[in-house]
Amino acid sequence: MMGPAHSLSGAAAWLGVGAAAAAFDRPMPWPVLVVGALICAGAALAPDLDHKSATISRAFGPLSKWLCEVVDKLSYAVYKATRSKADPRRTGGHRTLTHTWLWAVLVGAGCSAAAVSGGRWAVLAILFVHLVLAVEGLLWKAARVSSDVLVWLLGATSAWILADVLDDPGNGANWFFTGPGQEYLWLGLPIVLGALVHDIGDALTVSGCPILWPIPVGRKRWYPVGPPKGMRFRAGSWVELKVLMPAFMLLGGLGGASALGYI
């Protein structure tokens, strides 16, 4: 799928988690619902860090372009080192390492650990990166015609304000993980969810997605998970634009309303 659809699906997924949390008597404070949805929307773009033409490659200027090249080479090296004889030969690393459940869990766990051990500045960094990505994904038309610096300023300002809101008692710094020293441990959850939602979205397209790696399926270690080929679509097709994106908006709205107790 394309960037806007990925971001919408990520936001909708976290709002759905908020609805489920409310149903199980672990309701999210509204700042957690909002911040989590934005983080998840941004994280739903992050697996494409292995693609030099993806939205994330443009999000942070030369730094993100360079990082995409590094991750692409790393992913390709891992693919070559671990592929079975049944896996096809490739010339690049797109839709390999960063499109797996293992990558999602490791990145999410790393961000949670950084948030807990690094304090406010680590939290601000995590929020900044994902809010910039959320703007690039959800407001992609405006972001395309705006200066990168303006998008970065919006991300930095929003990160600072939202971190202050979360720090207020009862606003969610210690949501879900309530033990001493576990403030912001939950930040990794929307990051894991966003990456997995991205992978599931890509699995619906023609090429499929090797979400299960390194678990082998049949004779393939990099098995491209997906529905039957007749149910798949091409990225950017009318199915994505006219069916899935409106569905994500509708489901996200229902999930948010349920999470906040309006329905």
pLDDT tens, residue by residue, 6-52: 999 999 999 999 999 999 988 999 999 999 999 999 999 999 999 88
Interval 185-213 mean pLDDT: 95
What is the number of helices (H) and of strands (E) in the chain? 10, 0
Structure pTM? 0.94
* 202 to 52, 171, 240: CA distances (angstroms): 17, 34, 11
Region of poorest pLDDT, from 50-64, 111-125, 183-197: 50-64
Residue 232 has a CB neighbour count (10 Å cut-off) of: 16
Averaged pLDDT score across all residues of the chain: 92
| % pLDDT > 90, the chain | 73
Q: Indicate if the alpha-carbon torsion angle 151, 156, 157, 162 is positive or negative.
A: positive
Q: Give the pLDDT confidence of 55-92 residue by residue, as tens digits.
A: 898 889 999 999 999 999 999 999 999 999 999 998 88
- Whether the pLDDT of residue 141 is over 80: the answer is no
* 49 to 9, 71, 160: CA distances (angstroms): 18, 7, 25
Tell me if 74 sits within 8 A of 97, measured CB to CB: yes
* 203 to 99, 138, 150, 225: CA distances (angstroms): 10, 21, 34, 6
Tokens of 239: 């199915």
Question: Which residue reads 């030099």 in tokens?
Answer: 52
Q: For position 3, what pLDDT does the model report?
A: 83
- Whether the pLDDT of residue 4 is over 70: the answer is yes
Which residue spans within the chain are E strands per DSSP? none
Tell me if 7 sits within 8 A of 249, measured CB to CB: no
Q: Indicate if the alpha-carbon torsion angle 217, 222, 228, 231 is positive or negative.
A: positive
Q: For position 54, what pLDDT does the model report?
A: 86
- Whether the pLDDT of residue 233 is over 90: the answer is no
* 84 to 94, 102, 214, 219, 222: CA distances (angstroms): 18, 18, 11, 7, 8
- Whether the pLDDT of residue 145 is over 60: the answer is no
Rounded CA gap, 44 and 121, in Å? 23
Interval 254-262 mean pLDDT: 93
Interval 194-210 mean pLDDT: 94
